[in-house]
C-alpha cells in the first residue's frame, strides 16, 4: 500500500543528461529538499537508468558534386515499445577516407540536423601516419548523441554507409 503523502517527481526525457555510451543508460543522482527549502539531503550515489528505448533508422544517401561529399539520412525515431517518444536531432559523425587500405576513422563533429557536407581531403591517415596519396574511398558512421563521444561500442550507432568511390 502506498503512502499518499509521499511525493513523486517525474523527469522529462529532455531534462536527462546525454546517454552514457559505456553504461548504455542515463547516469543520474538526486537529493531531497524539504518543501520550505530549509533542509536538504546529501546527494545519492550515481544510478544508471536503462532507457529501454528502441532506435528506428531509415535510409542514408550519398552524393558527390565536385569535391563536396554530401551524406543525408532520415531522422531516427526513438520509441518505447510501440510508442514514439521523440525523433533524434543531434548526431555524432565519424568519417573515414582511404584507398581500400583501412584509413583511420576521424571524429568529424556533433551536429544538429541530418545532413553533412564534407570536402574531399587531399590526404588521409593510417594509424595516425599521413599518406601522400589522395583517398578514393569514403565511409561514414552516424551515432546518436552520447557521452563520451566514442566508436568503442555500437550501442548508439544508427547509420553505417560506405565505402563509396570519391
Whether residue 26 contacts residue 11, with contact meaning beta carbons closer than 8 Å, is answered with no
User: Total structural domains in the chain?
Assistant: 1
Residue 10, domain member (yes or no)? no
With respect to residue 91, please indicate whether it lies within any of the assigned structural domains. Answer: yes
The predicted pLDDT at position 38 comes to 86
**Digit-coded pLDDT (tens) for 37-59:** 888 888 889 888 888 888 999 99
Instruction: Tell me whether residue 25 is exposed, middle or buried, using C-beta atoms within 10 angstroms of its C-beta: 0 to 12, 13 to 18, 19 or more.
Output: middle
pLDDT tens-digit series, residues 93-118: 999 999 988 899 999 999 999 999 99
Range of the domain at 155: 54-165
Q: Which three cell numbers stand for residue 115?
A: 545532413
Q: Is residue 48 part of a domain?
A: no
Say which residue the cell 563521444 belongs to.
Answer: 149
Residues 56-72 pLDDT 10s: 999 999 999 999 999 99
59 lies in some domain? yes
In a domain, residue 119? The reply is: yes
In a domain, 11, yes or no: no
Max Cα–Cα distance, the chain, nearest Å: 72
For residue 1, tell me if it sits in a domain: no
Amino acid at each position: 500500500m502506498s503512502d499518499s503523502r509521499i511525493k513523486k517527481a517525474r523527469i522529462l526525457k529532455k531534462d536527462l543528461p546525454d546517454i552514457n555510451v559505456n553504461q548504455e543508460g542515463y547516469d543520474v543522482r538526486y537529493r531531497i529538499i524539504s518543501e520550505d527549502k530549509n533542509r536538504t539531503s546529501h546527494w545519492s550515489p550515481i544510478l544508471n537508468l536503462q532507457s529501454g528505448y528502441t532506435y528506428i533508422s531509415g535510409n542514408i544517401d550519398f552524393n558527390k558534386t565536385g569535391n563536396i561529399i554530401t551524406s543525408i539520412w532520415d531522422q531516427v525515431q526513438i520509441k518505447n515499445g510501440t510508442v514514439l517518444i521523440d525523433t533524434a536531432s543531434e548526431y555524432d559523425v565519424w568519417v573515414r577516407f582511404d584507398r581500400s587500405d583501412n584509413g583511420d576513422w576521424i571524429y568529424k563533429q556533433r551536429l544538429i540536423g541530418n545532413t553533412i557536407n564534407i570536402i574531399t581531403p587531399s590526404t588521409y591517415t593510417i594509424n595516425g601516419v599521413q599518406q601522400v596519396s589522395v583517398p578514393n574511398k569514403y565511409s561514414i558512421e552516424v551515432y546518436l548523441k552520447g557521452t563520451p563521444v566514442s566508436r568503442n561500442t555500437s550501442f548508439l550507432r544508427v547509420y553505417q554507409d560506405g565505402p563509396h568511390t570519391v
